[in-house]
Amino acid sequence: MRPVGWEALGQWGADAARVEPLAGGVANDVWSVRVYGRLAVGRLGARGDADLAWETELLRHLDREGMAVPVPIPTEDGRSFAGGLVVMTYVEGGPPETEADWRRVADTLRRLHRLTRGWPQRPGWRSSIDLLHAETGTKVDLGAMPREGVARCRAAWARLSGRETCVVHGDPNPRNVRVTANRVALIDWDEAHVDVPDLDLALPHNAAGLDEGAYDIAAQASAAWEAAVCWDDEHAVGRLAEVRAV
């Protein structure tokens, strides 16, 4: 019988155990866990196998290329996940605090974008460009938003048309970045998908060094994306308010 919920942690060995809950957003149940005698992170959610296979393959690719990311730890029989549960290495560090920290984050995001040109789309997802015509894609349902709000979001995304796509992290907020003196790590890849890299680059202090026009395009597009993907919680309503009227 397929293990249900946290029972699946037993696939990582008889001694595998949960330690304490971690902040992981509303979509997943995230805990520190102990597997194979070391501290790790377990994330339990409702994503399907194809979605999790895409994410774990991406993380292994980035790890091989030398990026600091949570690396999936296989089950005893070599699987990357089991019963909706993924176990990954624990990443040390704190959030970016200074302008210099954020410039390092921008460099890390641009490296991600370079390493994933031509990457296939996450199963079931749509890019911001796709949503100029599509209504739905994984967590996005434009039909649930006010029509005037949809028009504003699409106007923001239309400014990205024709640009090269790659994997975007999708949510590079301070909680999802771990900075040490030696490296910048990106964690929580639950929102990662293939899109236009601008969505990752509207950073504090304009750390990506965009000119005024480019920063405006990135900021409007990313605000529209967050509004659509989270609709209709308080954060999404606030982000939509930042998207200019058509």
Q: What is the pLDDT of residue 23?
A: 78
Structure tokens at 144: 């649930």
Q: What is the mean pLDDT of residues 131-159?
A: 95
pLDDT given at position 139? 85
Closest C-alpha among 52, 22, 47, 228 to residue 144:
228
> HEC profile for 25-66?
CCCCEEEEEEECCEEEEEEECCCCHHHHHHHHHHHHHHHHCC
Judge whether residue 1 has pLDDT over 60: no
Residue 75 has pLDDT above 80, yes or no: yes
158-172 pLDDT, tens digit each: 999 999 999 999 999
- Record: fold of 99-241: Aminoglycoside 3'-phosphotransferase; Chain: A, domain 2 (3.90.1200)
Average pLDDT taken over every residue of the chain: 95
What is the predicted pLDDT for the residue at 138? 81
Instruction: Check residue 236 and give its pLDDT.
Output: 94
What's the pLDDT tens digit per position in 187-198?
A: 999 999 999 999
Query: Which two tokens mark 214?
Result: 């480019």
Instruction: Provide the 8-state DSSP code for 157.
Output: H
Query: What pLDDT is attached to residue 27?
Result: 72
Q: Residue 3: what pLDDT? A: 63
Q: Which CATH class is domain 5-89?
A: alpha beta
Alpha carbon separation from 3 to 13, 36, 79, 173, 197 (Å, rounded): 13, 19, 14, 33, 38
Domain spans in the chain, listed from the N-terminal domain onward: 5-89, 99-241
For residues 245 and 152, the answer to whether their CB atoms sit within 8 Å is yes
